[in-house]
Structure 1
């Protein structure tokens, strides 16, 4: 019995659809660049520009978080989303802007709409731990 293309695609993990660790790093690099161009959230990221080691550490946390969320090999060991964002007073507009940057970066890298929707759902599930905490 042959397997249909749809059945074959359904067995590909989200981690694999994101391109593994290398693909996730491309997404993270692109989203950070997008955040720095996005007037809604740029002020939150520009203070780190003169701290390349800090930026790299943040990117590594993002990569590991994406790996964990996509059932990849990475295990996120950073602070919880609530703890990380406590006191930052992030509003919903900023959160949606950050999500849009991630999803647009994924689109520009050629990720399929269903994969982007899956990531959007995961990101939206984190919202209550990040907005106004």
Structure 2
């Protein structure tokens, strides 16, 4: 039997670590950090965003979490995220996956998910 992507990412704890590392990468990335640095002064809001991200990815990768946040279009409408910014965000995610020793097959699965979300996020 093949493990789900959720299991291959380390379950809830693994995904939580990946999300934490990704957010840290975004805050240190000059191409996208203007969108993330304001949340350093809003730790309660940042915690909610992180939890939504953990739940979203857990639910979408085979875990039993229930995502209760906004759909991707609603969540990103008005942000006018460019294709370049989206690619930088993807790079930050893959840096976090590498840091957490995620295997190549799982990284390809993550890439497929991220690519499927692109149209719901860019230029909304």
> Following the alignment from structure 1 to structure 2, what is the Cα–Cα distance between the partners of residues 99 and 73?
24
Which runs of structure 1 show a deviation greater than 3 angstroms over 4 or more consecutive aligned residues? Answer: none
TM-score after normalising by structure 2: 0.97
Name the Cα RMSD after superposition. Answer: 0.8
Name stretches of at least 5 consecutive residues in structure 1 with no aligned partner: 1-7
Correspondence for 1:118: 109
Query: Comparing both chains, which one has the higher relative contact order based on Cα–Cα distances under 8 Å and sequence gaps of 6 or more?
Result: 2
Question: Is 1:20 the counterpart of 2:11 in the alignment?
Answer: yes
Superposed CA deviations along residues 5-54 of structure 1, whole A, max 9, x for unmatched, are: xxx5xx11111101000000000000000000111100000111111000
Provide the secondary structure at the position in 2 that maps to 1:110.
coil
| Structure with max Cα Rg | 1
Counterpart selection for 2:60 from 31, 44, 69 = 69
TM-score after normalising by structure 1: 0.91
Q: CA deviation at 1:77?
A: 1.4
Correspondence for 2:46: 55
Aligned residue-pair number: 124
> Following the alignment from structure 1 to structure 2, what is the Cα–Cα distance between the partners of residues 68 and 100?
22
Q: CA deviation at 1:82?
A: 0.3
